[in-house]
Amino acid sequence: MTETNPQQISVKKILPLILATAIFMQMLDSTILNTSLPSIAKDLHESPLNMQNAIISYVLTLAVFMPASGFLADRFGTKKIFIFSLVLFSLGSLFCSLSQNLTHLVISRVIQGVGGSLMTPVGKLALIKTFDKNELLKAMNFAIIPALIGPVLGPLVGGYMVDYLSWHWIFLINIPIGVLGIILGLKYMPNYKSTDVDFDLKGFLIFAAASLLLSISLELFGDIQNISPVLFVFILGFLFLYYYYRHARRGGNPIFPLDLFQVRTFRVGIVGNLATRLGISSVPLLLPLMIQIAYKQSAVTSGWIIAPMALTAIFGKSSVIKILDKYGYRQTLMINTFIIGTLICLLAIPNIHTSLYWFVPIIAILGFFNSIQFTSMNTISIADLRNFQTSSGNSLISVNQQLAIGFGIAFGLIVLKLFENSDLIEGEMHNAFRYTFLTVGILTIISGFIFRRLHISDGKNMKSKEDQ
């Protein structure tokens, strides 16, 4: 009989809590800013519609640096990288609270993003290596509870802090949580390393350059007066993508192997994820902006109206297995995307004199179907991957998801600016928001046809599982 090490028991008890701390900070930070942007914009003497960089810079930094997390953990150890990421995230949060202008805020959000891109993947890696397979699901379920709570608290906490304290506190709240994570990490986080370290640094840099250039081109598109720089940066981004394609074709060990795209379900899942999130990702930002800018309501009010989206997402998460088992992936994703697009269009119906409570049921139903959409897209993407493809495929799905969120936010605000400067709105900012919801809703409905390329039997070989 083997003796159980008391230290190992302590690690197994505390490690899920350490990961939960990291996930909570990241999820809270991803949502807390949405209701706070108008107040931050006012204090920094910026238009709220120019504040998207504060969100996009964070999301895109996550996308760019996530692929390097596994290599860094293997090379330097999970404990060192995890502690480093928490320190970086906490410092970034402090710098955000001290920002004097939008440029300072964006740079601070990038520092936060580098920390965020490492802490959750490295924490998960330590959890996977610590627990036996029969214990892992229970440990992971405990650790991801904050991923469900964070989006509920984010808009509310952000709203109350902005209205009753100041916007600086939405960043300062991370520091005590980060310090707790660092103290627990120093004592309980195991320091796993790997001798077999192989990282495609060249491919990583090429792919990162392509992602950044394409994102910058979207941001520049908001300034329609001068289209030449936009086209130049956009074309340069695609040239870097082509350069990565050439690099990956040469063989070796590319960070994202091209054979992933030979798997039809993966290809459809990745493209569908990118297309449908263009509309879905813009709603949690556009709706609080509309409530505060057009309806002249408080940040707390916008927080309460957006919060049901996260609450009903929890119910969607518990229903998705039954729905997929009954209808299959093809039918579920096509119909679900149509429903989501229609719900976004419905946000355009109320005029400036309509009660704000009109939005609550739409947002609540939208949260439920969003949850089904994300789980279905993520699981069908890995359904037919071989064992040796799962790691790189899962990494690319995470990166694609973050890029899609960043592109979606930028796209929604570009459409809003176009309508703001058009004659259609007749001087009413509220109408610009309505036309924007209508546009992104219709595009979301159209994106559902991507899932027609799935076969009725696709996903049948999968044991139903949820993806956070």
285 and 192: one domain? no
451 and 404: one domain? yes
Side-chain-side CA neighbours of residue 332 (13 Å)? 26
398 and 269 in contact (C-beta within 8 Å)?
no
189 and 224: one domain? no
145 and 271: one domain? no
Tokens read off for 15: 């490690």
Tokens read off for 389: 């493809």
pLDDT score of 465? 43
Residue 243 belongs to domain spanning:
200-254
How distant, in Å, are the alpha carbons of 203, 245, 391, 455 from that of 386? 22, 21, 10, 19
268 and 389: one domain? yes
215 and 264: one domain? no
d(CA 222, CA 49): 10
Tokens read off for 270: 């990745």
The CATH number given to whatever domain includes residue 465 is: 1.20.1250.20
Question: Which parts of the chain sit beneath pLDDT 50?
Answer: 1-4, 463-468
pLDDT score of 150? 66
pLDDT score of 424? 67
With helix as H, strand as E and coil as C, how does the chain read? CCCCCHHHHHHHHHHHHHHHHHHHHHHHHHHHCCCCHHHHHHHCCCCHHHCHHHHHHHHHHHHHHHHHHHHHHHHHCHHHHHHHHHHHHHHHHHHHHCCCCHHHHHHHHHHHHHHHHHHHHHHHHHHHHHCCHHHHHHHHHHHCHHHHHHHHHHHHHHHHHHHHCCCCHHHHCHHHHHHHHHHHHHHHCCCCCCCCCCCCHHHHHHHHHHHHHHHHHHHHCCCCCCHHHHHHHHHHHHHHHHHHHHHHHCCCCCCCCHHHHHCHHHHHHHHHHHHHHHHHCCHHHHHHHHHHHCCCCCHHHHHHHHHHHHHHHHHHHHHHHHHHHHHHHHHHHHHHHHHHHHHHHHCCCCCCCCCHHHHHHHHHHHHHHHHHHHHHHHHHHHCCCCHHHHHHHHHHHHHHHHHHHHHHHHHHHHHHHHHHCCCCCCCCHHHHHHHHHHHHHHHHHHHHHHHHHCCCCCCCCCCCCCCC
pLDDT score of 100? 86
d(CA 382, CA 464): 12
336 and 224: one domain? no
Tokens read off for 365: 């139903």
d(CA 330, CA 113): 34
Count the domains in the chain.
3
d(CA 392, CA 256): 6
How distant, in Å, are the alpha carbons of 267, 335, 361 from that of 264? 5, 20, 36
250 and 318: one domain? no
Tokens read off for 315: 């119910």
pLDDT score of 463? 46
Tokens read off for 19: 């990961």
176 and 187: one domain? yes
41 and 55 in contact (C-beta within 8 Å)?
no
191 and 58: one domain? yes
Q: How many CB atoms lie within 10 A of CB 133?
A: 7
234 and 303: one domain? no
Closest CA to 347 of 358, 338, 337, 336: 358
Out of 152, 169, 197, pick the residue that ends a domain: 197
pLDDT score of 441? 93
214 and 155: one domain? no
Residue 281 is which amino acid?
S
Closest CA to 51 of 288, 366, 233, 399: 288
d(CA 185, CA 329): 40
pLDDT score of 464? 42
- Per-residue buried b or exposed e for 289-319, using 16+ beta carbons within 10 Å of the residue's own CB: bbbbbbbebbbbbbbbbbbbbbbbbbebbee
- Per-residue buried b or exposed e for 25-59, using 16+ beta carbons within 10 Å of the residue's own CB: bbbbbbbbbbbbbbbbbeebebebbebbbbbbbbb
